Structure 1
Amino acid sequence: MLNVENLNVWFGDPPDRVDAVKSVSFRVARGESFGLVGESGSGKSTILRAITGLFGTWSGLIEVAGEKVSGRHRSRAFHKTVQMVFQDPYASLHPRHSVDRVLSETLHLQGMDQIDRRIAILLDSVGLGRGFRFRYPHQLSGGQRQRVAIARALAAEPDLLLLDEPTSALDVSVQAEILNLLSDLRKERGLTYVMVSHDLAVVAHMCDRLAVMRSGQVVEKMDASVLRSGAAQTDYARQLLAASSSYEREAG
């Protein structure tokens, strides 16, 4: 579903150029859930933005469903295949647009018909009743806003969802609900996920495989079962696991 080879992403020009991603390669099979983990600034979210065309200064190979992408331009066909759910549901929804407008505009852009019926189905699919259709973002909780953002991503009927820390801005009590929703949607729709997170417990729960990133590079790839067993190969990945385990014990 996704093939990334020797990806480099940078900002600025010499001598001020910053290399945010360096020679990153990974493949994600159709129907798989793949995680990118690492500290803040490790380059994981930058990879998602390069895939979607939000960053244009990159080199290497990006293939989605066998089709190469280049530069910043992405076709309508690309956006029907790939959608992204951003970290902050407060920032990703227009404050003056109702849920109805958010979804109807997305459906129109994708050339869909039967807009009313599709909106009702989308709201049901993310656990929001039809009573939410004409509400505005300020009338919704954080979890409800993220459900709207997920519904907007699903409107295009994509095959691949890019998830950029989809629960990190939410209350802990709501995070599990959104993760369970994403798990159910993946099973029901046969979706492929690439999930960015700094939370190893989330990745262990959601993903089949993952890549550990540090300073723009992949330092280790592993199955989620290796992550759960704590059997990482590199010192950095083991330190990350140890820090995460320590944090979870203190929080508990």
Structure 2
Amino acid sequence: MLKIEHLDVWFGLPPDRVDAVKDAGFNVTAGESFGLVGESGSGKSTILRAIAGLVDSWTGRIEVDGQQLEGHRRDRDFYRSVQMVFQDPYASLHPRHSVDAVLSEALKLQGMDDIDGRIPQLLDDVGLGRGFRFRYPHQLSGGQRQRVAIARALAGQPRLLLLDEPTSALDVSVQAEILNLLTDLRAEHGLTYLMVSHDLAVIGHMCDRLAVMQHGRIVETMDVAALRRGAGRQDYTRHLIAASSGYRRD
């Protein structure tokens, strides 16, 4: 479903150029959930933004469902296949647009028909009652806003979702609800996930395989069983896993 080879992403021009991603490469098969982990600033979210067309300064090869992408221009067919859920549900929804307006706009942009009938179905899919249809973002909790953002992403019936730390801005109890929702949606709709998170427990729960990033490079690709065993091959991976286990007095 997704193939990335020799991906370089940078920002700015010399001498101030910052190389955010360096020679990255991995594959994600259809129906798989693949994670990107690493410390802040390692380039995880930048990869998602390059795929989505939100960054134009990149070289390498990005293929989605066999279609090679160029630059930052994406057509309607691409956005029907690929959608992104952002980290902050407070920033990703327009404060003056109702839930109905948000979903209606998404459905129109995707060229979908029967918009009035599809909106209640989208709300049902993400566990929101139809009473939420005409509410505004300030009337919703963080978890409810993220459910609306997920419903918006599902409007065009995509096959690949790019998940940029979709629960990190939420309370712990709400995080579990959103992760379980994403798990159910993947099974029901046959979705493929590329998920960024700094929380290894989230990746261990959600993903089948993962890539570990450091300073813009992928240092190791492993399956989630190895992550749970703490069996990283690289020193950085082992240190990352050890750090995620919490404070140790010794």
Supply the AA of the counterpart residue of 1:221. T
What is the Cα deviation at residue 135 of structure 1? 0.1
Residue aligning to 2:99: 99
For residues 161-176 of structure 1, what are the structure 2 equivalents within 5 Å? 161-176=161-176
Supply the AA of the counterpart residue of 1:206. M
For residues 138-149 of structure 1, what are the structure 2 equivalents within 5 Å? 138-149=138-149
Query: 1:92 aligns to what SS in structure 2?
Result: coil
For residues 68-83 of structure 1, what are the structure 2 equivalents within 5 Å? 68-83=68-83
Equivalents in 1 of 2:106, 2:197: separation in Å?
A: 26
What is the Cα deviation at residue 97 of structure 1? 0.1
What is the Cα deviation at residue 173 of structure 1? 1.2
Supply the AA of the counterpart residue of 2:40. S
Equivalents in 2 of 1:75, 1:69: separation in Å?
A: 10
Residue aligning to 1:127: 127
Does residue 3 of structure 2 align to residue 9 of structure 1? no
Q: Which has the higher helix share?
A: 1
Equivalents in 1 of 2:115, 2:76: separation in Å?
A: 18
What is the Cα deviation at residue 46 of structure 1? 0.2
For residues 1-252 of structure 1, what are the structure 2 equivalents within 5 Å? 1-246=1-246
What is the Cα deviation at residue 14 of structure 1? 1.1
Supply the AA of the counterpart residue of 1:237. T
What is the Cα deviation at residue 132 of structure 1? 0.1
Supply the AA of the counterpart residue of 2:79. H
Supply the AA of the counterpart residue of 2:2. L
Equivalents in 2 of 1:204, 1:87: separation in Å?
A: 19
Q: CA deviation digits over 1:85-132, x for unaligned, max 9?
A: 000000000000000000001101111111111000000000000000
What is the Cα deviation at residue 246 of structure 1? 1.6
Q: CA deviation digits over 1:144-176, x for unaligned, max 9?
A: 000000000000100000000000000111000
Query: 1:123 aligns to what SS in structure 2?
Result: helix
**Unaligned ranges ≥5, structure 2:** none
Query: 2:112 aligns to what SS in structure 1?
Result: coil
Equivalents in 1 of 2:14, 2:145: separation in Å?
A: 41
Superposition misfits of 4+ residues, deviation over 3 angstroms: none
For the aligned residue pairs, the C-alpha RMSD in angstroms reads: 1.0
**Unaligned ranges ≥5, structure 1:** none
What is the Cα deviation at residue 16 of structure 1? 1.1
* Paired residue total: 249
Query: 1:91 aligns to what SS in structure 2?
Result: coil
Equivalents in 1 of 2:45, 2:200: separation in Å?
A: 15
Equivalents in 2 of 1:63, 1:149: separation in Å?
A: 25
Supply the AA of the counterpart residue of 1:175. Q
What is the Cα deviation at residue 185 of structure 1? 0.2
Query: 1:120 aligns to what SS in structure 2?
Result: helix
What is the Cα deviation at residue 15 of structure 1? 1.2
Calculate the TM-score normalised by the size of structure 2.
0.98
Equivalents in 2 of 1:226, 1:116: separation in Å?
A: 46
